[in-house]
Amino acid sequence: MVTRSEQIFVNLPVKDLQATVTFFTELGYEFNPQFTDENATQMIIGENIFAMLLKEDFFQTFHKNELADTTKVREVLITITQDSRQAVDALVDHALTIGAQPASETQDYDFMYSRSFLDLDKHLWEIVYLDESAL
């Protein structure tokens, strides 16, 4: 297996950057001030994993395609793992109390537990606990 040091940047258009930053700050995420201005911010998800949250008009400057209407189509499913089932529940429950919408039923398999929510811009976030000992 090759070990690499690449980074992953998920770029997401948002309608209200400040409301989105407030939402994810409430969920415990931090932002890199070096990559933050009035048009975009870099949300730190993990050591090499980031979400670039860009105002819709700024996002449009990177491509010619129209934006996906997230109320009608799914452009991406973002999955983030947690260390326990309780951590999954805590994060999703908190997201729901600060404006997220439930996205689907809880999935509970012996090796995987997941819940999901739609953020303020209807991007789908799946929060998962994987019990590798049960595989």
pLDDT at 11 (0 to 100): 96
Q: What is the model's pLDDT at position 53?
A: 98
Same domain for 133 and 79 = yes
**pLDDT tens-place string over residues 54-99:** 999 999 999 989 999 999 999 899 999 999 999 999 999 999 999 9
Tell me the CATH number at 77.
3.10.180.10
The span from the CA of 48 to the CA of 44, in Å, is: 8
- If asked whether residues 57 and 79 sit together in one domain, one would say no
Average pLDDT along the chain = 94
What's the confidence (pLDDT) of residue 3? Answer: 67
| Distance between CA atoms of residues 37 and 17, nearest Å | 10
DSSP state at residue 134 = G
Q: Which of 34, 67, 100 is the last residue of a domain?
A: 67
Expressed as residue numbers, the domain containing 16 is 1-67
Whether residues 30 and 9 fall in one domain: yes
pLDDT bucket at 135, cuts 50 / 70 / 90? confident
Range in 1-10, 11-20, 40-49, 81-90 the model is least confident about? 1-10
CA dihedral (49, 51, 67, 98) positive or negative: positive
Q: In this structure, are 123 and 78 located in the same domain?
A: yes
Q: How many domains does the chain have?
A: 2
Could you tell me what percent of the chain has a pLDDT over 90? 88
4 pLDDT higher than 80: no
> pLDDT digits over 22-38, tens only?
999 999 999 999 999 99
Same domain, 13 and 31: yes
Residues 6, 18, single domain; the answer is yes
Query: Of the candidates 46, 67, 88, which is a domain's last residue?
Result: 67
Q: What is the dihedral of CA 44, 47, 49, 52, to 10 degrees?
A: 30
Instruction: Kindly state whether residues 77 and 63 are assigned to the same domain.
Output: no
Band of the pLDDT at 130, cuts 50, 70, 90? Answer: very high
